[in-house]
Amino acid sequence: MNKIIKNTIILTIITLVSGVALGAVYEITKAPIANAQEEAKQEAYKQVFEDADSFDDLEVDAKEAAEAVKAAGVDDGAEINEAVEAKQGGETIGYVITATDPNGYGGDIQVSVGIQNDGTVNGIAILSINETAGLGMKASEQEFYEQYSGKQTDHFYVSKDGGEGEQIDAISGATITTRAVTGAVNASLGYYQNVLGGSADE
């Protein structure tokens, strides 16, 4: 009986010490991780809007965003994460909208999309991707993502699928990845058109 109690006490102490240690590690690494994520976002914003000298956060209402994406005909589960105003000398020159599509071959793909005031895609940047090396990871290469730049459209579609709008050539052997990136871009366009675009025109 005493042995059982002793073992229980030892296990409890080990559990408590492990919990405290994990909590300490989390607190130590939390700030650096958050800083790295923020730096990655700022780099993505500058990539899609090189002319901007500042980016102001905009409040994103989840329900409104979901309705805007749905109204744009995007029904693959893509979600709007955040939006910022791209500014130059205090003037708004466009927006950067970040969206996540859950349908990548390796899971979520998060994309930041720069959109000019007239709806032209200024550029896109891949924020998060976990696709197959040599195949889906080619989505983060300039040759692929530049297909979206300079296009003024309500909707992109993958060439293999057909549809209305601007055509995107699928990455060889990675059509699923191409669809997911395009889904995130289309979600961002939908949010711009149905939420930000209207307010910018008024």
Whether 152 contacts 120, CB under 8 Å: yes
- Which comes out higher in pLDDT, residue 177 or 166? 177
pLDDT at 200: 43
pLDDT digit string, tens, across residues 84-133 = 999 999 999 999 999 999 999 999 999 999 999 999 999 999 999 999 88
Give residue 84's domain range: 47-201
Instruction: Say whether pLDDT at 202 is over 70.
Output: no
Tokens 């029904």 locate to 75
pLDDT at 162: 65
Distance CA 137, CA 43 (A): 19
Out of 34-38, 85-89, 105-109, 140-144, pick the least confident. Answer: 34-38
Instruction: Say whether pLDDT at 61 is over 60.
Output: yes
pLDDT at 39: 78
| 170 in any annotated domain | yes
Mean residue pLDDT of the chain comes to 87
Instruction: Say whether pLDDT at 175 is over 90.
Output: yes
Quickly list DSSP for 74-120: --S--EEEEEEEEEETTEEEEEEEEEEEEEETTEEEEEEEEEETTSB
- The 10 Å Cβ neighbour count of residue 18 is 10
What interhelical angle do 62-71 and 175-191 show, nearest 10?
A: 110
Instruction: Say whether pLDDT at 198 is over 60.
Output: no
Tell me the average pLDDT across 75-90.
Answer: 94
Whether 158 contacts 170, CB under 8 Å: yes
| 34 in any annotated domain | no
- Which comes out higher in pLDDT, residue 69 or 18? 69
Distance CA 143, CA 46 (A): 18
pLDDT at 156: 94
| 185 in any annotated domain | yes
- Number of domains the chain contains: 1
